[in-house]
Amino acid sequence: MEKNDVINFKALERELQAALAADEKYQRENAAKLRAVEQRVPSYEEFRGIVLASHLKPLDQKDKIRGKGLVPWNCHTTRERTFEDVATEIPQETSPFQPVTSAEFYRDWRRHLRGGPERYQALLQLGGPKLSHLFQMDVGFGLLGELLVALAEHVRLSDRAAVLEILHSLANTGRFTLNLSLLSQAERESCQNLFQKLQAMGTPRPMQEGLSLEEPSAGLQGEEGLLQELRGLYGLH
């Protein structure tokens, strides 16, 4: 067997453990989200706190705290690395963004795609149909706002049709209305800004200065109809 054919079982095991940890985290936070909705929490901050604390377990009578050191009650709200962070680390390798499950998307989006341009290109690479398949059940907690921000900050005229398709796919994911209602003020403003840019991109331009406007093509007319439909779905009337 040649060297190139040798399987790195340790790397495969680390990747498997990372995928399992990411999936467990997604399921745990999703369950916490549903509990928070059932409890009808009064504010977004309380809702967020419930989700961030979903990894905590109640102490048993036999559990004892030794030592006098102070330990943060919720390690996910600190900047310190946790055991879960270390356990889910995998080697940083350059590879296409091709998640197979929503948990893989959530993991790679947060861990490997840090910059806005990278996130925008990743969304275009996946496209609307793939995103619709990944998020059939639900878009992960807080993820919808991040997707909208990435689109708003980097949308280009040449990508207009693709971005509209992505927005349409997201609007048809599970619990979309709930996730939309949980957007922060900044994320809502980004969403509004995104639609304003898309609207401006579809405005016909004069063929020559002082002459009548160009007639919109059939494709552009279809995009305008989709844009107006999406404005209603995203609560922008």
State the SS3 of the chain. CCHHHCCCHHHHHHHHHHHHHHHHHHHHHHHHHHHHHHHCCCCHHHHHHHHHCCCCCCCCCCCCCCCCCCCCCCHHHCCCCCHHHHHCCCCCCCCCCCCCCHHHHHHHHHHCCCCHHHHHHHHHHHHHHHHHHHCCCCCCCCHHHHHHHHHHHHCCHHHHHHHHHHHHHHHCCCCHHHHHHCCCHHHHHHHHHHHHHHHHHCCCCECCCCCCECCCCHHHHHHHHHHHHHHHHCCCC
For 39, the token pair is 């409890």
In percent, how much of the chain has pLDDT > 70?
A: 67
Residues in CB range of 183: below 8 A, 6 or more apart? 144, 145, 148, 191
Q: Distance (Å, rounded) from C-alpha 194 to C-alpha 155?
A: 8
Q: Quick one: CA dihedral 174, 165, 105, 153, positive or negative?
A: negative
Q: Which residues in the chain show pLDDT less than 70? A: 1-6, 41-43, 45, 47, 49, 54-96, 204-220
Backbone angles phi, psi at 204, to 5 degrees: -60, 145
For 141, the token pair is 């907690």
Task: Indicate the residue type of 110.
Answer: R
Backbone angles phi, psi at 206, to 5 degrees: -60, 140
Q: What is the mean pLDDT of the chain?
A: 77
Determine the pLDDT at residue 51: 72
Determine the pLDDT at residue 32: 74
Determine the pLDDT at residue 76: 53
Determine the pLDDT at residue 229: 94
Determine the pLDDT at residue 70: 54
